[in-house]
Amino acid sequence: MEKKLERIFSAYHYVGGYELFFKTGAFTEYLFDKFESEKPEWYDMALEVLKLIGQAGTADPKEYGRIAGELEKIRTEVESQMREVVELRDCLSVCEYVLRRLCEPEPSAPIDDGKEATSIISLIFRSKDSVTVREGVKAAIASLPLRIARSRFFDIVEGALESQLGRSEKDIDDIVSNIEGFGGLKVSEGCIARDTDASEIVEAVFGSDLSDISAEELSKLFNLCKEAVLRTAIRIDAFSDVGLMINAALLELTASGYIGKGQGEVFTNASVTAFMNKLLVAFESGDRKTFEEGLLYEGIDESELEKLEEIRYKIPGYEEPFLQMAKSESDEVYRDAKRCIALVSDSIFAALSDSDPGKTVDRDMIMQKAKELKEKLTQAFSSGSKLLQRARMAGILSKLPLFLNNSDEVKDYIRNSLESCRDEREKAAAIREFKNYFEDM
């Protein structure tokens, strides 16, 4: 095999080992501290992943394929459950939007629309970084009073889909699925069933216009919703951590076959592998003293971390020549090179298989999918309160490509949002929500 190709596999191996090194230490510490009694639904999967990582640390290299196969099976389950929890989070976000506004006390005096618009615009544009500004605009769309005609809303959704012309059918189906999720149109019954409070919240917000519910009951629902959102965020973080540990382990196992690593050296080098083994044995035995001593990461040379950052920075530039060299080597090497590129990302959803993504979509297919989505959204908007409809629309618009083309359009949108809203409570809640976003940054 060409030496340069081997060196690139070695770079991926080096990064994967250190990613796993730190992620496993942090995650096992989290498990030790948080879950000595009550075990969440992802706990057993996490233990199985740690067990397989431990096996790889002492296994004969011939066993790496089997271990990788078992890790991939768990990865599929983690991805499936993660998608369910993300859909629940999006659904709860719609509920929180509605309940926050219903629970807002009546302001003591009318809001000065001009003053608040100026303040919001100033917050968004105080940064010179275009990404930060764009995220600020999306936060404004997500939280400020939504006063946009439904026809305009559908035009924006259709335009967002049309901008994806030329992508695969699977890509478009994923985007449509995300739009449905952002609008609170889909959530797994099984996922809701694991959270009684979430079930009560969703049923109340989506099942009626809430006009007959007392202020006290609304307040109770709002507090339950905030707690459910927090629990859901913790679950998402946990699934993500487990998925990223799997990715790092799979990256190590994939790359190790190309760089001559022997038994006991799979995780970047022998010293890192020894640390991993010691950490996992101490965790499994419940030996907190040895475990906590291991978390000091003693023996990591500063130059190693500098090298790690340098390689991380360079890896994206290797992708094209890496794939070209791998393809000329063999189909198997090409497959593993693509796996390395997918696994080094921060996404647990990166596809590892060579499955057919479907044909490239043309405009007719895009318009057909847009029509089907519009019918589904129209049906959803036919029930529930106007506030629920606005919550769904705001959730979708805030996640689509930005439809405001310049700073003047952004400023006009903000002013119109405030000036067109006659509900002082909704306006006050929206302004507070937006400003809290900037305080939390």
Closest listed residue to residue 254, CA positions, set 153, 341, 316: 341
d(CA 85, CA 241): 14
- What per-residue confidence (pLDDT) applies to 253? 93
CA 244/CA 34 separation, integer angstroms: 20
Residue in 134, 209, 424 with CA at minimum distance from that of residue 432: 424
Neighbours of 31 (CB within 10 A): 17
- In the DSSP assignment, the letter for residue 38 is -
CA distance 374 to 368: 10
Residue 424, φ and ψ in degrees, nearest 5: -65, -35
The C-alpha atoms of residue 283 and residue 272 are separated, in whole angstroms, by 16
Report the chain (441 residues): mean pLDDT per 10 consecutive residues.
86 91 89 78 92 93 93 94 89 92 90 94 92 92 90 91 86 86 76 78 85 90 94 92 94 89 81 86 87 70 82 88 92 92 86 69 88 90 86 90 90 94 92 87 63
Locate the domains of the chain by residue range: 3-83+236-343, 103-233+360-439
> What is the predicted pLDDT for the residue at 189?
65
Through-space distance between the first and last CA atoms of the chain, rounded to whole angstroms: 48
Per-residue pLDDT at 297: 62
The pLDDT of residue 73 is: 96
Q: How many residues does the chain have?
A: 441
Q: Which pLDDT value is given to residue 298?
A: 60
pLDDT value at residue 193: 65
Cβ contact 42:191 at 8 Å? no
